[in-house]
Amino acid sequence: MIFLFCILPYTQGVKAQHNELEQAFNKAFRYHYSNKDSAYFYYEKTIRLAKKQNELDYVLNGYIYLMNANGYYYDLKNYQKNLKLEDSLLTYDKRFESLQSYSYYKDYLLFDKGNYHYKIKDYATSKKYFQELFTKLNAVPQNKQTKNDLLTLSSLYSFLGTIYKHTGKYELAEYNLKKDITLVSKHRDSIDEWESSIMNSEKLLSQVYEDKKDFKAANLLLTKALAFYKKKEKDPSFKNRILSTYLLLAKNYIQQDKFQLAITTLDESGHIYSEDNPFSRDVDLIYGDAYLGLKNYSQADAYYRDGLLKIKKYREYQKHQDIAIAYAKLGNLFMKQQKIANSLKQYQLALIQLEKNFEDLNYNSNPIPENVLSKRVLITILKEKLNALFEAYTITKNVDYLKTANKTSKTIIKTLDVLRPEFESKLDKEFLVSETYPTIEKMVEISYKLYQHSKENKYIDDAFFYMEKSKSIALLEAHRNAEATKYGNIPSYIISEEQIYRAKISRLDEDIFNSNSKEKSVLVDSLFATKKNYYEYIAKIEHDYPKYYELKYKSTVITAPELKKELNSNQSVFSYLVAENAIYLIVTTQNNDTFYKLASNETLKNTISDFYRQLSNPTLEDRTAYVKNGNLIYKAIVEPTLKNNKTSDIVILPDDVLNYLPFDVLQTDVNNEKSYLLSKYSISYASSATLLQEQNKTNVKSSNKLMVFAPHFNKLVSEKKENQERYDMSPLVYNSQEAKNISAYFQGTIYDGKKASIANFKNNSGDYNLIHFATHASANDEFPDYSYLAFENNDDNSNLLYAKDLYNYQINADMVTLSACQTGFGKLQKGEGMLSLARAFNYAGVPSIVTTLWKISDQSTSEIMKSFYKNLSDGLSKKEALRQAKLTYLNSNDDAFLRHPYYWSGIIITGNTMPLQTTNYVLWVISIFAGILIIWLIYTKLFKRFK
């Protein structure tokens, strides 16, 4: 949106030498919104007369108004031509430098360049120009900002917000649009048409909500905007805004399957536009979408084809992503009618529009992702093509369609790899993964069907590849970022600067979370200014240090054959993917891999939920309620894999609701308490096989040093519950004893009482390779970044270490044990797993995490931890040490209630499970004695031989 009155004062202030010049300009302005040809004619006449009369202000304002008309009518060819002409005048004609308003014209030229590139959807270039102007205007002190400055800043906020929306950066999009609304509301007395400006930004904000699938919030904003704009129908300058709001509202209804309401909304807008209106091609496509929803295929076809022709003509028959989108809509239409050949042809025509040198009509081929005009549009069309190919197979049973679909799957993955570095925000990266996840499910299903047809292992390898590409990508990127920082040849002072940025962002984020409404606005501004500077700083590092960039964005994942080489003969990796109506499972062993499609439905998901509730909240009335569900789950997702599998060591790569399961408590026999999987199998977990591979490369320290945190909390509280749970912030009866018990097996330091502070953790953790927290914790389902570990209360500082704080730590420990409540529990994020404290420690670089799935018992946890650390000191692997500790606990308790899985099964281990370097001094003594004995025997034998 461009505010013409922003430049009007300059024009009105010019006194023309001849009335003819003034009359030409006034006539042009009169036709500005109503008659394109007349407006063009009189603006061009104004420029000619102004040049002849040396009225330099009129020359430049003539161009500015003419380009505004070009933009209003979406006449981009003339917009570009006039932009070059004005740029040339300001760059090479020295006369214009004498103008009092010269600086303003230079600024407006930046604005016009940004607007032009925005309209041709070159968002990177557009952002560059807008950002340059924004930086300049924002540097002006608020008390010196003019009305024109405020108007331009408002436009810049809305443009930048929309650019971020179009590039999938929703966090920044929402911030900029809300910032514009705040700015205009604050300065409403200085801004003409301030209400219109707010409505415009709210309308744009609705599109952010719509992309994030919050259709209700989007609809509320659009309905409000339309009601406002309807009052302005008689003002021609509002025509485009009114029409665009109608179109957005119609699209919103289509997203909610309210197709007839969408048509009614479009019909209502009919009186506003004519066939030559720049929005008419959009109207056609939206009508087509609505009629397609109603299965009125002939009407949909007619509208799509009209829209396609108009877009082609508008884009001068040159390749463009808008043409690609129109072709893709025709592809969807034909697919709905099961006209497979026609559908695939349209998708291929769509793909051809996205790459300059791609002309292949054979649907077996796809463009090169690095070369396309829009990677986001490419992914959208490829996903639609993939679905069409799968549907074609479903109808025809022709396996060739599946093979082409599998090839298309790989192009989608490659496009995602190319696109991912463009996403700066952690939230936007997670949203990208979650949006792509349903397509990953389709890819795995296609691979499974191909495997069923051919029994070729290459399709298991493909499915495994797709699964790995969907698992914990953000976590893997964090790990690789840490490695890139270490080995990317970056000077230490640059790394320090980055850490300062991250620490400041974390602190501001926490301040906002805990602030009141009055403080929040200032803090949010500071946060986003810091984030913007941080992203720019990182972009500079990535540009200046290519090795760092290469390591950080390395997109490779471990393959199934590579994984086999890393497994022992008794090991299996179970990689799960939970789809809508099935659970796919690939079991990989040293010599074999098998591919399963397991039945899944809401009943199974409810059974898992019930099972988790029964484990985490035991009741005296029914101590064995969990048994039946545990056996049902075992039969559904584990039993088929163990029939011919001689494994004893299992790594679980869970997905979706399976993240809630401690697998070792599943029972093979409902009538036998000792039939837990725990009794036969050593079980651990990993976020992905790729991440596990990288965690296993961690160099284990040659000697062990243990750091234990055991806060006392409020020692004055007299009531001490014997069955204490580590979540309610009251004193923990057994944590001090737990600290002493485990310290008997490893040298180190106990930080208890006042010493158990966040400061001591932050300042001293680098000296230890084993860190143990025996404390309180809490999982925050709604805001997972605010799950926390509790340290000793300190009046001066917070005693809570939030998950988000750990994103800024670099912890070099071999293992962290979170002996606290729900440290492995959190919000489920599609593709990323459980957003928990344990995951935050993974972010910080810890390769091995012992964690808990629910609110654990203080006493039983203390007993299990004592055995666990003893077993570690004896040289057992971490997973076997934990398994044996649980078995010891079970075998030492005669009370059936205390053997309930609540007391022992919620403790799990994730990541690297290799043994620590042993520090069992008894073993050392035995080893030394054995060595001396061997030497003595050899010496004696040699002595006798040569005597």
Exposed (0-12), middle (13-18) or buried (19+): which is 492, by Cβ within 10 Å? Answer: exposed
* CA–CA separation, 917 and 891 (whole Å): 28
| Of residues 9, 24, 112, 12, the one with CA closest to residue 70 | 112
How far is the CA of 500 from the CAs of 243, 478, 766, in angstroms?
47, 17, 18
pLDDT for res 673: 80
Residue 410: strand, helix, or coil: helix
pLDDT for res 409: 96
Extract the tokens encoding 231: 């009052």
The residue type found at 715 is K
* CA–CA separation, 283 and 266 (whole Å): 7
State how beta strands 571-578 and 649-653 pair. parallel
Could you tell me which residues come within 8 angstroms of residue 294 by beta carbon, excluding any fewer than 6 positions away?
259, 260, 263
Extract the tokens encoding 733: 């009866």
Question: pLDDT digits over 330-363, tens only?
Answer: 999 999 999 999 999 999 999 999 999 999 999 9
pLDDT at 300 over 90: yes
The residue type found at 576 is Y
DSSP 545-566: -HHHHHHHT------HHHHHHH
pLDDT at 859 over 80: yes
* CA–CA separation, 59 and 102 (whole Å): 12
* CA–CA separation, 549 and 266 (whole Å): 48
pLDDT for res 276: 65
How far is the CA of 812 from the CAs of 428, 746, 764, 769, in angstroms?
28, 18, 11, 7
pLDDT for res 491: 80
Give me the chain's average pLDDT, please: 85
* Total residues found in the chain within this entry: 947
pLDDT at 829 over 60: no
pLDDT at 720 over 60: no
The number of helices, as runs of H, and strands, as runs of E, in the chain is 37, 16
Backbone angles phi, psi at 575, to 5 degrees: -105, 115
* CA–CA separation, 937 and 4 (whole Å): 101
| Of residues 393, 388, 566, 559, the one with CA closest to residue 467 | 559
pLDDT at 638 over 70: yes
Question: pLDDT digits over 155-186, tens only?
Answer: 999 999 999 888 878 888 998 999 999 999 99
Residue 717: strand, helix, or coil: coil
837 in Cβ contact with 528 (< 8 Å): no
How far is the CA of 292 from the CAs of 281, 335, 635, in angstroms?
17, 11, 44
* CA–CA separation, 337 and 342 (whole Å): 10
The residue type found at 258 is K
Q: pLDDT tier at 726 (50, 70, 90 boundaries)?
A: very low
Backbone angles phi, psi at 850, to 5 degrees: -100, 125
Could you tell me which residues come within 8 angstroms of residue 80 by beta carbon, excluding any fewer than 6 positions away?
116
Extract the tokens encoding 583: 């659970």
Beta bridge partners of 816: 771, 849
Question: pLDDT digits over 252-266, tens only?
Answer: 999 999 999 999 999
State how beta strands 907-911 and 833-835 pair. unpaired
Could you tell me which residues come within 8 angstroms of residue 660 by beta carbon, excluding any fewer than 6 positions away?
608, 609, 612, 825, 853
Extract the tokens encoding 875: 């040289």
Q: pLDDT tier at 717 (50, 70, 90 boundaries)?
A: very low
Task: Classify each residue of 50-60 as buried b or exposed e, where b means 16 or more C-beta atoms within 10 Å of its C-beta.
Answer: beeeebbbbbb
Phi-psi region of 791 (alpha: psi -120 to 50; beta: other; left: phi over 0): beta
Q: pLDDT tier at 667 (50, 70, 90 boundaries)?
A: very high
**Which of 87-91, 114-118, 213-217, 928-932 is least confident?**
928-932
Q: Averaged over 842-866, what is the pLDDT?
A: 85
Counting Cα atoms < 13 Å in the Cβ hemisphere of 269 gives: 30
* CA–CA separation, 239 and 222 (whole Å): 16
Q: Tokens 């003409």 identify what position?
A: 192
* CA–CA separation, 198 and 177 (whole Å): 9
| Of residues 294, 329, 287, 292, the one with CA closest to residue 308 | 329
Q: Tokens 């993917």 identify what position?
A: 577
123 in Cβ contact with 167 (< 8 Å): yes
Task: Classify each residue of 892-925 as buried b or exposed e, where b means 16 or more C-beta atoms within 10 Å of its C-beta.
Answer: ebeeeebbbbbbbbbbbbbbbbebbebbbeeeee
Could you tell me which residues come within 8 angstroms of residue 330 by beta carbon, excluding any fewer than 6 positions away?
301, 304, 305, 308, 346
pLDDT for res 133: 93
Q: Averaged over 138-157, what is the pLDDT?
A: 89
Instruction: For residue 432, count other CB atoms closer than 10 A to its CB.
Output: 22
| Of residues 268, 260, 258, the one with CA closest to residue 218 | 258
* CA–CA separation, 720 and 730 (whole Å): 8
915 in Cβ contact with 878 (< 8 Å): yes
Residue 52: strand, helix, or coil: helix
| Of residues 626, 548, 637, 657, the one with CA closest to residue 587 | 637
CA end-to-end span of the chain: 105
pLDDT at 614 over 80: yes
Determine the angle formed by the axes of helices 689-696 and 457-470, rounding to 10 degrees: 80
Could you tell me which residues come within 8 angstroms of residue 364 by beta carbon, excluding any fewer than 6 positions away?
404, 407
Instruction: For residue 503, count other CB atoms closer than 10 A to its CB.
Output: 13
| Of residues 629, 571, 633, the one with CA closest to residue 598 | 633
Q: What angle do CA 199, 202, 203 make, to 5 degrees?
A: 85
Determine the angle formed by the axes of helices 321-336 and 297-314, rounding to 10 degrees: 170
Q: Averaged over 565-592, what is the pLDDT?
A: 93
pLDDT for res 779: 75
* CA–CA separation, 880 and 869 (whole Å): 11
745 in Cβ contact with 872 (< 8 Å): yes
pLDDT for res 540: 80
Q: Give the whole-number percent of the chain exceeding pLDDT 90.
A: 48
| Runs of H (alpha helix) within 120-168 | 123-138, 147-166
| Of residues 652, 700, 693, the one with CA closest to residue 567 | 693
808 or 224, which is more confident = 224
Q: Averaged over 661-671, what is the pLDDT?
A: 92
CA gyration radius, the chain: 33
pLDDT at 877 over 80: yes
pLDDT for res 476: 67
pLDDT at 728 over 60: no
Q: Give the whole-number percent of the chain exceeding pLDDT 70.
A: 85
Q: Averaged over 510-535, what is the pLDDT?
A: 75
How far is the CA of 304 from the CAs of 176, 387, 904, in angstroms?
34, 20, 62
